[in-house]
Chain A
Amino acid sequence: MNPVILKLKKKIKYRIDMSFLSNSYKDISRLSSQIISYGNKQFKVKELFSIKGNDIKNIIIQSSVDLMDNIGKELNNINITVHGNVGYSFGEQMLSGKLILYGNALDYAASGIKGGSIFIYGNSGDYTGGKTNHGNVGIVDGFLYVKGNVGNNSIERMRRGNVIIEGNIGDYACNDMLSGTIIIKGKIGKIFAEGIKRGTIFTKDKKVVKEYARSNDAEYNFTKFYFKEISNVISKKIFLENKNLIRYYGNTNSNNLSEVFLFKL
């Protein structure tokens, strides 16, 4: 079984809804003859894309462009690898499987995901890992890794799961967080973690912990273990050591029971 390779036959000028890739097809011929809209007309997938391979559970999109929206939307048990940029709602409300993007994503990437893993080896736009544009829940569960920078209003209303951002994150990030774990290696924008209730944040930005109570310097078996597990998932060592971590936990003046680990890189 070879992975299905999709490649645009010609340069496109209108947006394409790529959510058809998340459907479960019996075989490659069903996928090829799926009807999709382009502009004000309808086409079969094979008329817009050249298609190779037959393993419909493993899909590779080559030379993707940012006019291609909803790639991996509500994805369930399918792996998709994308080379190039993608449009809006990349992996939105994904359930399971794996999405890998070697490029940049526009807004609403990984918004409201409920499971699975998303790896973005580029930058990502606003509302990344946040609420969907029609719902009120953020990341319910799952794994998100962004190598580059992330836009505004990201990781909003996160309930569970793990997020690793190697670059910077924009304004109004991590607001109304309910639980989950976030590692942010870069800088943080204005108004961070407003209305947070629980959860764990690893950051080097001191302004985040202004209103937190400094916890003791006790040993945390969890951090050592967590870095090892996460390093395995992203196949890359996270260079954080226990000795460089200072823990801040909760704010007695509010219902904030979240914890922040400040680290020195």
Chain B
Amino acid sequence: MIYNGIKIDNTFAEAFNMKASRIIVTADNLKWAKHACDSFTGFATSVIACGIEAGIEKQLKSSETPDNRPGYSILLFSMSRSQLEKQLEVRVGQCILTCPTTAIFSGMIGEDVIPLGKNLRYFGDGHQISKKIQDRRFWRIPVMDGEFLCEESTARVPAIGGGNFLVLSTNRKSCLSACETAINSIKNQPNIITPFPGGVVRSGSKVGSKYKALIASTNDAFCPTLKSITKSTLPANVNCVMEIVINGLTFDDINEAIKTSIQSISKMKIKKDIVAISAGNYGGKLGQYHFHLRKVMK
């Protein structure tokens, strides 16, 4: 299939069931809200070693936040409830509570509730104040710049993690440029995040390794430097591959994000350097969701 001058491989991306939660971080200005969010979402690229995958979903205007201050919404994804709870608690405690002027609120409503400030309140050492407004409880924890306001709990919903596509290019410069354009095109799309640095992954992995201790290792079939010695799936003229991983709350959200990203690449001048768009999968046996690229681009 050729989509607007770009070859779309007949393959699919394999994604997994995950659990997600949304939080809203506000501060006196966007600068400090961003500091808090960058810190919170740092080292949250993959559940393999980070516990959760997290990223900034979008920037919020003052009128869109609970306390009329600018901020960001963050989406967190995890494979298990316990990891999500643990990571949320430690990250809020170390990254949001510590950041000047910030406050934190739940960004979603649901029956499945997980703690947000419930245990964090003990930092107040008895001086914390609880406020209940309708069915929501908030904690005011005295800190050195005034008060840290946080909601007691947030909700957890089913979500999908690991939607992806690969950009196969003749050179690294064009490949990176295409990925940057793709990420920019979905920057403001709600309900999705791209958890890796800048949204792009260069170290795609396969399951297993020749070393017993490792559960994942480099995806040699897509490594251009190993073309001559491994069972490579890359065409001869491909010299660089980069992956964009997308986590989303629903199948449609990821579907839409993949489509928008590939469309944006197909509008670029450097598309002549893009050999094909492919996707990463594990043979279809591990993931519950399959994003067939040709169906997505129809």
Contacts and interface: CB of A to CB of B under 8 A. Distances in A.
Contacts of B67: 221, 224-225, 228
Contacts, number: 56
Contacts of A226: 131, 133
B132 A141 contact: yes
A239 interface: no
A161 interface: yes
Nearest to B132: A160
Contacts of A220: 146-147
User: Which of the listed residues B103, B134, B148 has the most CB atoms from chain A within 10 Å of its own CB?
Assistant: B134
Nearest to B133: A229
Contacts of B131: 181, 200, 222, 226
A141 B146 CA distance: 27
Contacts of B130: 179
A225 B28 CA distance: 13
Given A220-B146, A222-B140, A162 B133 contact: yes
Contact of A228 (B68, B103, B138): B68
Interface of A is mostly: mixed
Nearest to A225: B67
A143 B138 CA distance: 16
Interface in B117-135: 129-134
A187 B53 CA distance: 53
Contacts of A225: 66-68, 103, 138, 149
B69 interface: yes
Contacts of B138: 222, 225
Nearest to B140: A222
A160 B137 CA distance: 11
A161 B136 CA distance: 11
A43 B130 CA distance: 48
B111 interface: no
A200 B149 CA distance: 15
Interface string B82-125: 00000000000000000001010000000000000000000000
A143 B134 contact: yes
Nearest to B105: A225
Contacts of A221: 67, 69, 101, 103, 146-149
Interface in A30-67: none
A161 B145 CA distance: 27
A191 interface: no
Contacts of A162: 132-133
A143 B131 CA distance: 12
A229 B68 CA distance: 10
Contacts of B68: 224-225, 228
Contacts of A219: 28, 101, 145-147
B207 to A, nearest CB: 46
A233 interface: yes
A218 B87 CA distance: 31
A214 B83 CA distance: 44
A259 B147 CA distance: 14
B146 A218 contact: yes
A220 B131 CA distance: 14
B226 to A, nearest CB: 54
A230 interface: yes
Q: What 6 A-B pairs come out closest when comparing CB atoms?
A: A225-B67, A218-B146, A221-B149, A219-B146, A221-B103, A229-B133
Given A117-B134, A179-B130, A222-B140, 4 more contacts: A219-B28, A220-B147, A225-B66, A225-B67
Interface of A: 117, 141, 143, 160-162, 179, 181, 198, 200, 218-222, 224-226, 228-230, 233, 259
Interface of B: 28, 66-69, 101, 103, 129-134, 138, 140, 145-149
